[in-house]
Amino acid sequence: MTHYMSGLVVRAEGVPAEIAELRLPEIGPGQVRVRIRAAGVCHSDLSMINGTLRPPHPLVLGHEAAGEVVEVGAHVTRAAVGDHVVLNWQPACRNCWHCDNGEPWLCSTSHGVAALENGLTLDGAPVHVTLGVGAFAEQVVVPENAVIAVPPQLSFDLAALLGCAVLTGTGAIRHTARVKPGESVLVIGLGGVGLSAVAAARAAGAAQVIAVDVNESKKGLAEAAGATDFVVSSDNLSKDIRSRTDRQGADHAIECVGRAATIRAAWRATRTGGQVTVVGMGAADDMVQLSALEIFSSARVLRASVYGQADTDVEVPALAREILSGNLDLGFLVTDRITLADVPSAFDRMSRGEGARSVVIL
């Protein structure tokens, strides 16, 4: 049976996204068909159209999503019709070197893949899907390892955010930085990922969580997430942070922007012997300059956190339980509930640094 649906498509670089009719591929062995119920508007989607990344076209946008399984293919064992699931844009193959060595977030099969063909057609031509998902559409067909079951009591809008923003932000705190009670944490960039990191840092027992953004309007969201301090970013950021941390600098800096300038600012605002964790995905030609002397003399650690450095099959259900139990309050993250047609406007708001997460409700 052929399934037709609407999806948000970018036909070529520099061409505005538009809603178009797509033909969904027939389901095959080991695959599942999911009706998308909610999809977050993530900065990575914006990177697909603003030149930061250069994916193939035509391209269905969207990768942070949750929905309901409506069909399963032969030999599928981890999903059943009716399951509520979170989409995983970087599913682990469980067979490569990284998977075998406890690093499924760096799976060689899926790591670094910007877009894939998956059988969709637009006017008879093959279509690519963002990060193997293409979630700004009414339905998707994905391999079974790309879906993670969550309790049906969890709302679809929050479930969608577990697939990227929440997992990435909390994982940066818990798995990469490994923040300890009593430590100080600086978070630069207060989108969905950064605000999730703020909330996770407070939940980890950080004594001081300093939230930084270029937009003064983010102060209320930062406080809702649990920040103890809010600072508007400036050229004097490192001095501002040191004045709030007994002249030492933060124990941890979490950079959630993905720009050389903010990575450098995070480095300078971190104490001697501290740790800088880069979460934001930047451009290939945006170079970070650090002198050999300061790398040695500062004794700081600079590292990246890819997808929260988490095993998604374990972490997503655990985060869902934390939300349902009230131990992790993330309701403040959803600042706009929109339709597919509203996504371009959501990109504009994101570019201006407004709000936390816009979520498409289908």
Instruction: Please report whether residue 320 resides in a domain.
Output: no
Q: Which helix (H) or strand (E) holds 187?
A: strand 184-188
**Separation between Cα atoms, residue 34 and residue 203, nearest integer Å:** 33
**Separation between Cα atoms, residue 201 and residue 73, nearest integer Å:** 41
Q: Indicate which CATH number applies to the domain containing 135.
A: 3.90.180.10
> 134 and 189 share a domain?
no
State the distance between the two ends of the chain, measured CA to CA, in whole angstroms. Answer: 22
> 176 and 133 share a domain?
no
* Nearest residue to 78 (alpha-carbon basis) of 146, 22, 141, 12: 146
Number of domains in the chain: 2
pLDDT of residue 116: 75
Instruction: Assess contact for 171 and 315: CB atoms under 8 A.
Output: yes
> 241 and 346 share a domain?
no
Query: Is residue 283's pLDDT more than 90?
Result: no
pLDDT tens across 303-342, in order?
999 999 999 999 999 999 999 999 888 989 999 999 999 9
pLDDT tens across 166-175, in order?
999 999 999 9
* Nearest residue to 196 (alpha-carbon basis) of 258, 256, 155, 154: 256
Instruction: Please report whether residue 112 resides in a domain.
Output: yes
> 288 and 179 share a domain?
yes
Residue 126 sits in which domain range? 3-149+330-361
The 10 Å Cβ neighbour count of residue 124 is 6
**Backbone phi, then psi, for 360, in 5-degree steps?**
-80, 125
Instruction: Please report whether residue 86 resides in a domain.
Output: yes
Query: Is residue 251's pLDDT more than 70?
Result: yes
Instruction: Please report whether residue 158 resides in a domain.
Output: no
pLDDT of residue 114: 67
Backbone CA torsion sign across 200, 92, 127, 258 = positive
> 25 and 140 share a domain?
yes
> HSE of 74 in the Cβ direction (CA atoms, 13 Å)?
3
> 120 and 202 share a domain?
no
Average pLDDT over residues 183-211: 96
Instruction: Please report whether residue 317 resides in a domain.
Output: no
* Nearest residue to 188 (alpha-carbon basis) of 209, 205, 174: 209
Instruction: Please report whether residue 318 resides in a domain.
Output: no
Q: How high does pLDDT run on average in the chain?
A: 92
Q: Indicate which CATH number applies to the domain containing 224.
A: 3.40.50.720
Helix (H, G, I), strand (E, B) or coil at 97: helix
> 295 and 241 share a domain?
yes
Query: Is residue 1's pLDDT more than 70?
Result: no
pLDDT of residue 3: 79
**Backbone phi, then psi, for 335, in 5-degree steps?**
-100, -15
> 176 and 301 share a domain?
yes
pLDDT of residue 52: 77
Instruction: Please report whether residue 163 resides in a domain.
Output: no
List Cβ neighbours of 275 (8 Å cut-off, separation of 6 or more): 177, 251, 252, 253, 300, 301, 302, 303
Instruction: Please report whether residue 325 resides in a domain.
Output: no
pLDDT of residue 148: 97
Query: Is residue 115's pLDDT more than 90?
Result: no
**DSSP structural state of residue 93:** -
